[in-house]
Amino acid sequence: MKRRRPTRPVRATSTAFAGFQFPSEVILLAVGWYLRYGLSYRDLEELLAERGVEVDHVTLYRWVQRFTPLIIDAARPRRHAVRDRWFIDETYVKVAGPGGTCTAP
């Protein structure tokens, strides 16, 4: 079994994108499309090529591996908190005795 190198944590700063050939907007767009729509790396490569961005599918794989934690950490504060109270609007159940029918709108 091949051992994997531990990945370095990615910070949500501009230094996270330092040294990359492509702008951060292109990298985040590609990774976002991959995560949101479940595209293959080759499909993603074709979509970017149609928009004038020539990038290899292996590079896209590396971007996803490196920048997914960055996107997860950035999205975490925007999650809704789960509350202990739930509200239900306009719901009723009518039960007509034993063996009766249940109706709900």
Question: Residue 86 and residue 16: Cα distance in Å, rounded?
Answer: 40
Three-state SS for 5-70 is CCCCCCCCCHHHHCCCCCCHHHHHHHHHHHHHHCCCHHHHHHHHHHCCCCCCHHHHHHHHHHHHHH
What integer pLDDT is reported at residue 11 of this predicted model?
45
What integer pLDDT is reported at residue 39 of this predicted model?
93
What integer pLDDT is reported at residue 67 of this predicted model?
93
What integer pLDDT is reported at residue 76 of this predicted model?
76
What integer pLDDT is reported at residue 26 of this predicted model?
93
What integer pLDDT is reported at residue 96 of this predicted model?
72
What integer pLDDT is reported at residue 88 of this predicted model?
67
Q: Which residues of the chain have pLDDT under 50?
A: 7-11
